[in-house]
Structure 1
Amino acid sequence: MVPRPPSSDLVSTFAPGGVLRASINLGNPILAHRDAAGGEPAGVSVDLAREFGRRLGVPVEPVAFERAALSVEAVRAERADIGFFAVDPARGEGLRFTAPYVLIEGAYLVPEESPVAANDEVDREGVRISVGAGSAYDLFLTREIRRAEVVRRVGAPRALAALRAGEVHVAAGIRQLLEAEAARAGGVRVLPGRFMVIRQAMGVPAGRGAAAQELLGSFVEEMKANGFVADALERHGVEGAIVAPPD
């Protein structure tokens, strides 16, 4: 079945200025990065944004941020029209989310000589865990960690650097990113398994209304069902992420 084109009112709701501003979080390298040739944002998130803009019949303007928290705030404040976020209760205010389109594993990185061997051994008295401030991992650990200390750094690279510098005992982040860090230089290892699953979804400012959320949600479900998301993951060489099941 060919999708019904959105009404002109809905197009105006999503792109009141005639351009769809898409908030892109470059802090999640699985889904977005800068193109090596021209430095422009590229990746799965950008592909989805451009396809949604094509459906609306409007040009797309990627608005790139280095951290998730900045990307979220841009949409919440309506400085962007859509965004790509990890779903988390702490981000609900001011936003309307779709169901997830991709699932990503969150993991822990520890020094090679660390006695910690499993995820359930991390939350102990005296343990310091570094994490990118405002990331999905930060929000999750803030709720779940009871005994260890969560140490926030601006961006994932600084969270990893804190572990290398001996300032913390554990670093939390995207499994793929942590595995790349372990492969880059010895002395650290990724704990087996995962401590959380990140549900990556699309979102709009809450003020755009339920109809906008419904249209964006239908788009996400179609992109999962027709293979667009899977093809984008393969095209960009993404490992460590899977297409989310149907809503």
Structure 2
Amino acid sequence: MTQPQPPLPLAPALVAAFAPGGTLRASINLGNPILANKDAATGEPVGVSIELAREFARRLGVAIELVVFEKAAASVDAVKNEKADIGFFAIDPARSDGLLFTAPYVLIEGSYLVREDSALTDNAQVDGAGQRISVGSGSAYDLFLTRELRQAEVVRLQGAAAAMAALRSGQVEVAAGIRQMLEAEARREAGVRVLPGRFMVIQQAMGTPASRGAEAQALLAAFVEEMKASGFVADALARHGIEGAIVAPAA
């Protein structure tokens, strides 16, 4: 891994745009274990998004505060409402109002989970009359499927665990989610399987409130590009044992 270069001095106004109170508040979503988790020993948040947040705060020369949420929608709202200064979310048109995004730093697959006895064998078969698909409310795949599905019904529940439980209980025919989480559920207990392939690619990016301005967005975007090019993101994924997610290509 090539070490990131030391940061150039930043204008005080630009630092203040990200940390008006002198501390960078980073919104962290624990609902996506590809990016963030709790350390089993300490209970503290760990993962690639936490490492990016800490490195960005170091670049700014300010302290870091992690503002932790269990769901993506709450994490997004915190940044939109300026309860946090940066966040880590999937890029989606439904989230564009009030937020400025970078290019993605990680790509993740969205897939479907069905019961073993389901007649479904292909992603294209899922959007059919009478099919109910459970999703974590406000997730990237909820937003995507709400736009794209024409016949199937989206059933919104409080988080990925509830969405997968709804499939096992027969409340729905399909559960949508991050492929790695669905595969883990299939390994946990027999009775369900993941359909081959994917129905979407989730583009995980950094974002900041739109009020912070174009110059702040440009700085954050340049930071993300450097973190990809230097190997920082790939190294963090490997260190936390994340499989399946890939570093996004250069913007």
Residue 94 (structure 2) aligns with? 90
Q: How does 1:75-114 map to 2 (within 5 A)?
A: 75-114=79-118
Q: How does 1:148-227 map to 2 (within 5 A)?
A: 148-227=152-231
Between the aligned partners of 2:246 and 2:134, the Cα distance in structure 1 is 26
SS in 1 for 2:127: coil
What displacement does 1:4 show? 2.0
Between the aligned partners of 2:224 and 2:230, the Cα distance in structure 1 is 10
Q: How does 1:4-19 map to 2 (within 5 A)?
A: 4-19=8-23
Between the aligned partners of 2:133 and 2:140, the Cα distance in structure 1 is 14
Is this contact kept in 1: 2:7–2:59, CA < 8 A?
no
Between the aligned partners of 2:71 and 2:129, the Cα distance in structure 1 is 29
Between the aligned partners of 1:7 and 1:234, the Cα distance in structure 2 is 34
For 1:106-128, what per-residue CA distance to the aligned partner results, in whole angstroms no more than 9, with x for missing partners?
Answer: 00000001000000000000000
Is this contact kept in 1: 2:99–2:207, CA < 8 A?
yes
Is this contact kept in 1: 2:228–2:248, CA < 8 A?
yes
Aligned length in residues: 247
What displacement does 1:36 show? 1.1
Between the aligned partners of 2:9 and 2:170, the Cα distance in structure 1 is 55
Query: Cα RMSD (Å) of the superposition?
Result: 0.8
Between the aligned partners of 2:87 and 2:9, the Cα distance in structure 1 is 21
Is this contact kept in 1: 2:14–2:216, CA < 8 A?
yes
Q: Aligned residues: percent identity?
A: 72
Between the aligned partners of 1:108 and 1:68, the Cα distance in structure 2 is 19
Establish whether residue 53 from structure 1 lines up as the match of residue 49 from structure 2: no
What displacement does 1:2 show? 5.1
Residue 240 (structure 2) aligns with? 236
Residue 124 (structure 2) aligns with? 120
Q: Which runs of no fewer than 5 residues in structure 1 stay unpaired? A: none
Q: TM-score, normalised by structure 1?
A: 0.99
Q: Which runs of no fewer than 5 residues in structure 2 stay unpaired? A: none
Between the aligned partners of 2:10 and 2:208, the Cα distance in structure 1 is 16
